[in-house]
Structure 1
Amino acid sequence: MDIVKVFGNNLRKYRMAQGMSQEAFADKCGMHRTYISAIECYRRSISLENIQRIADALEIEAYKLFQEE
């Protein structure tokens, strides 16, 4: 399991399910669009605080971002 890929894929899946662009989502969670893009493209590892901010913006429990399909 590559946790960075699992997280990036889940972030993209949940964001797109809510119909949000990277830019709109970044605004919602107080981050920069390029940061969200880097996560979704597996180029960034992120802190626990930012994981929680992302989960809150998606209105899901944080553990769902780590579940492999």
Structure 2
Amino acid sequence: MSSLVEHFGIAVRQLREQRGWSQEHLAALSDLNRSYVGEIERGRVIVSIVTVQKLAVALQLEPASLLARGEQVASVRRAHRDALAAIGG
């Protein structure tokens, strides 16, 4: 799966965990199946824009902010990878 999908899933998991919520709780708030939320968090599914909207509403964010969070995860991971490469190279 693409890194964009993976980073979006990581962002959803981080936001859920910051709130102290279980996957079940987020699923209930977003009207999604718990196992589907797990698949999203593991980066195994490509979500629709409707699902992004449902998750954003549940997390009390704008959809664009939720998507931007995925980009932030990607940026941090790139910086970390580059720093490790600099140390090892």
Give TM-score, length-normalised by structure 2: 0.71
CA distance in 1, matches of 2:18, 2:54: 18
Q: Which runs of 5+ in 2 are unaligned?
A: 74-89
Q: Deviations over 1:10-32 (max 9, x none)?
A: 00011111110001110111100
CA RMSD of aligned residues (A): 1.4
Distance 2:64 2:10 in 1: 14
Query: Unpaired segments of 5 or more residues in structure 1?
Result: none
The reply on whether 1:20 has 2:21 as its aligned counterpart is yes
* Structure 1 moving runs of 4+ over 4 Å: none
Q: Taking every aligned residue pair, what percent have the same amino acid on both sides?
A: 32
Q: Which structure ranks higher in relative contact order (CA pairs < 8 Å, sequence separation ≥ 6)?
A: 1
Correspondences of 1:9-48 after superposition (within 5 Å): 9-48=10-49
Native 8 Å contact 2:27 2:33 kept in 1:
yes
Correspondence for 2:72: 68
Contact 1:6 1:65 in 2 (8 A): no
Cα deviation for residue 68 of structure 1 reads 2.1
Mark the structure with the bigger radius of gyration.
2
Which is richer in helix? 2
Aligned length: 69
Given the two structures, how large is their TM-score scaled by the length of structure 1? 0.90
